[in-house]
Amino acid sequence: MTKIANIFNCKTAALVGLAFLTVACATTNKSDSRDPWEGFNRNVQSFNDGLDDYVMKPVARGYQTVTPKFVDLGISNFFSNIDDIAVIANDLLQFKLKETGMDTGRLLINTTTGLAGFVDVASHLDLPKHNEDLDQTLGKWGIPSGPYLVLPLIGPSTPRGVVGLAGDTMSNPINWITPVAIPYGAGTLKTIDMRADRLTESKILDEASVDRYEFIRNAYFQDRDYKIHDGNPPPNEEDLQMEKEMDALEHLDGNKAPSNSK
């Protein structure tokens, strides 16, 4: 075997070993500095998962079965249009003036020509849906998220996320309507509609994740980070460490000039 082959095999072995160590650390090291309340959070997620399995999934499947697709889409569009009120407010708080104008136009068009939002006319007029919330705004201002927190019935969050959820809930005009049966009924319908739209996603999650709890926790932080930085999040410490190790391997390999065997 030539020296080239030896070097190639060493590099391959090193990469495989590095990947194995990374996976091993991820699966054996259960401590996460972002999650000091892990024991409590796992118990709450277990409760939420049981409620989802025995209540929400059956209800969502039944809703999906009896609801025509155009009605289902219309209901999703209606609640999305209401949510644009909070989106506009958070656009302003983040000084995103262009998005503020676009989302205001989107709200006006869909509320009027879109039949109170049941038809998403604005998306066909080059006014796409934006997703902004108070948690993102607070993160944009530099307010830390705090530790990971799983809320009963709601799911993954943080202390900052709880404040954001409360603010976004108060900005929803449906929640100010009396009697209270109307906002409660609307909230229930929205929850069922959203759960029905995500039945496929939850199936993929259940099949793909080894530790469902860790998968959801990491996905939550990655999603928040992605949205707060508008799709361009800074690299985290693990990414930087992995990049350094890969650079070191390439540098080591580069110093070994291959020569032909005699």
Q: What are the pLDDT digits (tens) for 176-190?
A: 999 999 999 999 999
| 5 burial level (CB within 10 Å; 0-12, 13-18, 19+) | exposed
Tell me: pLDDT of 77 over 50. Answer: yes
Q: What are the pLDDT digits (tens) for 39-56?
A: 999 999 999 999 999 999
Locate 85 and state its tokens: 């009120």
Locate 247 and state its tokens: 């650079």
Mean pLDDT of the chain: 86
Q: What are the pLDDT digits (tens) for 200-253?
A: 888 787 777 689 999 999 999 999 999 999 999 988 766 666 666 666 666 666
Tell me: pLDDT of 257 over 60. Answer: no
* Cα 3 to Cα 251: distance, rounded to the nearest angstrom: 17
DSSP for 151-201 reads ETTTEEE-HHHHHHHHHHHHT-GGGG-SSTHHHHHHHHHHHHHHHHHTHHH
Tell me: pLDDT of 82 over 50. Answer: yes
Mean pLDDT lowest among 12-21, 29-38, 115-124, 234-243: 12-21
